[in-house]
Amino acid sequence: MSETSRQEWETWVELWRESGKPAATWCRENALPYWKFNYWRKRLEPVAATTGPSTPFALVSEPGEESRAGVVLEIGGVRLNVFRGFDPEVLASVLGVLSRGV
């Protein structure tokens, strides 16, 4: 691959975000080295952080009292049940993994 400009990487990172796919899958489909993509994604994160969240997030539902789940989240195509009494450290770890697209 020839020398790629910052602007091209910004475009690729944005296209990946819009795809909703895991980063590794998107890179494989677009013939981009996954390690290089991660380098640029992390390098560009501070810019993205000032414009809004980098992980698509949607509250899918708030179950009523009859359910054990406090909330159901959908993040990057993954549904996550957060039960009452959850461990905040475990949730933070899971969200970190999902935000990296792993």
Condensed to tens digits (0 to 9), the pLDDT of residues 26-75 reads 999 999 999 999 888 888 876 444 445 555 655 555 555 445 557 777 76
50 or 86: which leads in pLDDT: 86
Separation in Å, CA 55 to CA 15, 29, 31, 95: 13, 20, 23, 9
Condensed to tens digits (0 to 9), the pLDDT of residues 10-19 reads 999 989 989 9
Q: Is the pTM of this model over 0.75?
A: no
Q: How far is CA 66 from the centre of its chain?
A: 31
**Residue boundaries of the structural domains of the chain:** 6-51, 57-99
